[in-house]
A and B are shown apart, each in its own frame.
Chain A
């Protein structure tokens, strides 16, 4: 996701009084381009506005939708400091100050959800994160391009399934009445283990579902990094007598280091908000004891129980902590010399 937010748009010339002689596209160094954009001189803003009114008109629908469904709810977060009442609305509900947050921080259920979130995230990180890397190395070592693209398209497919579908497929495979327990029962195992409803193994279940759904998709980015390693490095190493494992250890893995660190850091930014739908779907089967995370906590207390302000307070806590995590993750990415989600 590096450099997504860089500003490297095409130069827009024309109108009266073009600011500069037309530069060949792509030739101007980025820094100079940026400085020139900020220059106060050049065209008066009215002229610029008249020239660009079509472009602004084109952007407005998106801005309008974001204003209604992005910014209005942000303003609505004021309800976390109120005792929100459906009839009084955001503006006239009685003020509660920090009472909701005091209640939240003293609520054992909230802390339970908090530690659950971190626990599930940690297990997921350890079990899921290395899989796409290993798989990319395996795929990259295949000489047959046909086989490689076939395997890749098969394992990428589950990325496009809904979580309801993935959970259902898991249920049919490993759930109480599923394929594998049925097979075990036929072969004399009396009470096969039902992982779909066992709270103690829920973390493993969530991680294996994530691997099944997303590991193939995750390999794409590592495969690109592998393709970027210069083949002459391998050749030179082989000529110098480095065997297969030494080449992997000293060329392949270092070649993946940058993207791995970047993805790891960016992952940490989503430590509190991952897997909402996946966990919500299974919350009832496993029970809130092990399947309640912060996002489902906010949903259940806020929407299902109708305690809007309390749920919104939990949501605000989540949002703020996540924002801090994402910003911190990017900072760390910058320290490692990576671009992160945005540039410095």
Chain B
């Protein structure tokens, strides 16, 4: 019952408590933990953590493993044996995967910047109460959350605009998330109202207010929403299948992973494609190459995760409960 503890902080200054700052104390009314209960709880936590960590650990380890240690393990490696970075050297030394990695990074960066610009502007534009037409514009947006034309008309519209096989087709159709706009708008409409009003009286324009007042106090929500957009762009796969299915030279990383790793496993033999045809090496284990591709798609998420993780609860709750 951690919540209890937060409400009744033990008197500060007592050394015993200061030593264990990370651990809250059991309230007096609560029973002493039974050994059985503690064991069950600990066991459950270990199993849950293992279910997430062990697969990731094994994938990463295999990507660094030699053919010998993969043969020894008969597949994915759990115990480090022979380690090598040759798989990574190979896939980032040019070729399909390198190109895909660069394409994915550029799409994610450009797409996130584009989406954030549009989202911030729209959220601010809709956040001032009693402004002209804000209700109509809001409802216009909301309708698209409840009903859409579906895949096929979207495909035909984008194709008619010349988007087939074009990179903008991977960005523009999904650039605006109405949900994100609404979350941000509800945040904007509650920040620093007094300050905004006095700035307005002093003659600040809406652009100025957005830049100098609203954005600086909205860093947390901006970070969380930027993360949501970036993850969506980085992870998007169906868009590529829909708008860019044929030209493997243009594929971003997720599509490369899908074809050479995911499908490579189910269709026997195509795992060697990534080695044989596209990269022209034989000494490196195909499995460690495949796992290296998987690791590449993981790395940006693992890098971004700690920075934004502390804002999650705030951001999620903002969208989910407060609204």
A-side residues, CB < 8 A to B, are: 1-14, 19, 22, 25, 33, 37, 45, 48-49, 51-59, 61-63, 65-66, 68-77, 79, 84, 89-90, 135, 138, 140-148, 151, 153-158, 160-165, 167-169, 171-173, 175-179, 182, 185-186, 196-197, 212, 216, 220-221, 223-224, 226-227, 229, 231, 234-235, 238-239, 243-244, 276-277, 280-281, 284-285, 295, 298-299, 302-303, 308, 311-312, 315-316, 318-319, 322-323, 326-327, 339, 342
Contact = CB atoms under 8 A, between A and B. Distances in A.
B154 A1 contact: no
Nearest to B145: A341
A248 to B, nearest CB: 11
7 contacts: A9-B126, A10-B190, A55-B134, A74-B147, A165-B298, A234-B29, A299-B151
A316 B130 CA distance: 36
9 closest A-B pairs by CB: A73-B149, A315-B150, A76-B153, A162-B235, A3-B323, A58-B125, A59-B125, A9-B129, A62-B122
Contact of B206 (A58, A68, A145): A58
Given A9-B129, A10-B189, A73 B206 contact: no
Interface centre among B55, B189, B258 (most CB of A within 10 A): B55
Given A62-B119, A164-B237, A77 B131 contact: no
Interface string B246-286: 00000000100110011101100000000000000000000
B77 to A, nearest CB: 9
B176 A65 contact: yes
Given A74-B147, A168-B262, A171-B265, A140 B3 contact: yes
B172 A55 contact: no
Contacts of B24: 143-145
B25 A164 contact: no
A25 B194 contact: yes
A298 B132 contact: no
A48 to B, nearest CB: 4
B1 A62 contact: no
B103 interface: no
Contacts of B7: 231
Given A66-B144, A182-B73, A220-B313, A164 B258 contact: yes
Interface centre among B48, B131, B313 (most CB of A within 10 A): B131
A59 B59 CA distance: 45
Contacts of A179: 55, 58, 75-76, 78
B97 interface: no
Contact of A155 (B48, B156, B206): B48
A141 B41 contact: yes
B130 A162 contact: no
B125 A161 contact: no
A27 B320 CA distance: 24
A65 B172 contact: yes
A175 B266 CA distance: 9
Contacts of A3: 322-323
Nearest to B313: A220
A155 B52 contact: yes
A58 to B, nearest CB: 4
Contacts of A171: 262, 265-266
Interface stretch (B10-18, B85-93, B197-205, B217-225): B197-205
Nearest to A311: B152
B146 A323 contact: yes
Contacts of B75: 172, 177-179, 182
B148 A4 contact: no
Contact of B118 (A61, A303, A322): A61
